[in-house]
């Protein structure tokens, strides 16, 4: 399990290419919107390759937000990205395929909201953040086209859009609050150590 947590991202690129390579075999059996929902997982995987190879995201967050403190860990990154992102994309596709097409909007909005988040952080911080390029050049065009395609389907009403974008925003907000609280705890611990006259080098 420890090796999986450390090295999961290095199997992500071939897995994404494999998933995209299966499309010619299923394109005649699936509608265009279903194919576009399916496509959200491999493009998210490509995004993860840019974001997490060589622990880019971990180092970026801990250096720029944590100021050298461990705000996020490899274990947290694994659970967020593999069971979390992959699992939610898979669930969205299966629900769209077997139950109702509108539920595919969950995976589409997951990509779009993530792209907007990367863009906002880049503008605010005035610098590149890991995952920004694939967010701009994969998520925005492909997921926007997918959203438009889904919107033109009469069975996909407003409630599915609200569910999709609401869930995607809720996930982002939860993660921001979670790591914000971790950062506050680090600050409180540092303040308590200072009051007690304990140096970090003493630990």
Q: How confident is the model at residue 67 (pLDDT cuts 50, 70, 90)?
A: confident
Q: Over pLDDT 70: what percentage of the chain?
A: 91
Residue 193's pLDDT is what?
46
User: How confident is the model over 164-189, as a mean pLDDT?
Assistant: 84
Domain assignments of the chain as residue spans, ordered by start: 2-170
pLDDT at 133 over 70: yes
Residue 188's pLDDT is what?
57
Q: Who has greater pLDDT, 9 or 189?
A: 9
Contact (Cβ atoms closer than 8 angstroms) between residue 117 and residue 172: yes
Which long-range contacts (C-beta less than 8 Å, at least 24 apart) are formed by 35-38? 36/104, 36/108, 36/142, 36/145, 36/146, 36/149, 36/150, 37/92, 37/93, 37/96, 37/97, 37/101, 37/104, 37/107, 37/108, 37/146, 37/150, 38/93
User: How confident is the model over 113-135, as a mean pLDDT?
Assistant: 95
Q: Which residue has the tokens 């705890």?
A: 185
Output the pTM of the full model.
0.89
pLDDT at 36 over 70: yes
3-state secondary structure string across the chain: CHHHHHHHHHHHHHHHHHHHHCHHHHCCCCCHHHHHHHHHHHHHHHHHHHHHHHHHHHHHHHHHHCCCCCCCCHHHHHHHHHHHHHHHHHHHHHHHHHCCHHHHHHHHHHHHHHHHHHHHHHHHHCCCCCCHHHHHHHHHHHHHHHHHHHHCCCCCCHHHHHHHHHHHHHHHHHHHHHHHHHHHHHHHHHHHHHHHCCCHHHC
pLDDT at 50 over 90: yes
User: How confident is the model over 144-171, as a mean pLDDT?
Assistant: 95
pLDDT at 199 over 90: no
Residue 185's pLDDT is what?
74
User: How confident is the model over 92-96, as a mean pLDDT?
Assistant: 97
């Amino acid at each position: 399990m420890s090796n999986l947590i450390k090295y999961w991202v290095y199997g992500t690129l071939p897995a994404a290419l494999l998933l995209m390579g299966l499309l010619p075999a299923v394109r005649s059996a699936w509608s265009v919107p279903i194919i576009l929902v399916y496509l959200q997982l491999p493009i998210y995987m490509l995004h993860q390759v840019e974001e997490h190879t060589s622990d880019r995201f971990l180092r970026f967050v801990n250096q720029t937000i944590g100021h050298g403190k461990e705000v996020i860990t490899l274990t947290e990154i694994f659970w967020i990205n593999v069971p979390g992102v992959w699992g939610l994309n898979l669930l969205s596709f299966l629900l769209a395929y077997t139950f109702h097409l509108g539920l595919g909007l969950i995976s589409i909005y997951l990509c779009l909201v993530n792209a907007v988040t990367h863009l906002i952080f880049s503008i605010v911080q005035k610098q590149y953040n890991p995952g920004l390029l694939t967010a701009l050049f994969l998520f925005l065009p492909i997921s926007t086209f997918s959203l438009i395609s889904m919107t033109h389907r009469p069975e996909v009403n407003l409630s599915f859009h609200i569910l999709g974008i609401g869930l995607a925003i809720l996930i982002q907000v939860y993660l921001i609050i979670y790591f914000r609280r971790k950062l506050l705890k680090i600050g409180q611990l540092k303040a308590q150590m200072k009051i007690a006259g304990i140096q970090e080098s003493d630990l």
